Amino acid sequence: MKVDGINYHTVWMEANSVFFIEQNLLPFQFIIGEAPGYRDSCEVIKTMRVRGAGAIGALAGFAMAQACNEANTVNYESFIIHARKEIEQTRPTARNLFYATEKVFLAGLISPLNATKEAQKIANKDATDSLKIGEYGSKLLDDGYNILTHCNAGWLAFVDFGTALSLVYFAHNSGKKLFVYVDETRPRSQGARLTAWELNNAAIPHAIIPDNAAAHYMSLGKIDIVITGADRIAVNGDTANKIGTLEKAIIANEFKIPFYIAAPSSTIDLNCKSGKGITIEERSQDEVLFQEGPDNTGRIHRIRVSSPGSRALNPAFDVTPAKYITGIITEKGIIRPSESNIKNLIAQ
């Protein structure tokens, strides 16, 4: 995607350094960060400087390749086994992270060069898959549609194009007039900070709404379709996504509004039978208790926005049962969520 007329990927690798867009600084500053080693890349994932299923997966693949290049020939295999464990501990819910790490690790058992090639292949496929998701899914968006999103599933969440927003970009570029209701997505405000920034950058009409306003707009008939991304999809179609997705699905079901998941097939975990088997990441309570933003000089500050002395609970994800999901939009087409449909999709 373009920023100030220049094409960028969210994350990429040059030599043995990984470069990435600093998402924690957006939308106030657009800065390119660098992770020179695999442990630096792990820290980038942990601290959400890069976030989003596909972007995390690509960065994890690059981190695994970095580890293969950093290992010496004497204890090469034990080094990369340990590195793989470190990378996989950074974000426990995101399926794409494990998918990429495993594939690059196996390639790295052959050679570091092979690992680097595999990591780049995964990143390239992520961008290609995202574009295909946009092509398939854009057919669901009629001219004049009002769309609700939750969290960020745009190009910042993937290597390029995105998933839920890829549909919007594709339909917008084909001339359809669309409006997007952007859930702010507390506590990290991925909607208010990232999705809104992307849509503004693409000149697509939109408005940020509080997380608890979606039911109000649905009840008024102002939302035609809900589209979100996914961090892990179980084989029965149950889907883990950013906290708050479940309640949007339940409300959409109540008002008979289509609710779609947009995700590449790499997000599907065939070893996970249902949503009950998905690990839900618990993050620091500080993300709930504090917020960040710039002053009038552009300097970013953190302030407490909650009662001093109170603690907070901060689950990063929830699981939406397949019964609430109208369809899953993938790079291979759109399916209704069921075990047979998902297994047939993977077999294609």
Question: What amino acid positions are annotated as catalytic residues?
Answer: 231
Q: Which of 34, 49, 111, 126 lies closest to 80, judged by CA?
A: 111
Residues 6+ apart with CB under 8 A from 154: 162, 164, 165, 166, 194, 195, 198, 199
The DSSP call for residue 195 is I
Q: Can you name the residues that pair with 258 across neighbouring β-strands?
A: none
Question: 200-232 burial by CB neighbour count: b if 16+ within 10 A, else e?
Answer: ebbebebebbebeebbebbeeeebbbbbbbbbb
Q: Tell me the helices (H) and strands (E) count for the chain, helix number first.
A: 12, 18
In the chain, the amino acid numbered 23 is Q
- φ/ψ (deg, to 5) at 341: -65, -40
Tokens of 228: 């979100």
Tokens of 276: 């009950």
Q: Which of 173, 165, 90, 99 lies closest to 134, judged by CA?
A: 165
Q: Which of 95, 91, 113 lies closest to 104, judged by CA?
A: 113
**Cα–Cα distance, 173 to 202 (Å, whole number):** 10
- Residue pair 165/149 in contact (Cβ under 8 Å)? The answer is yes
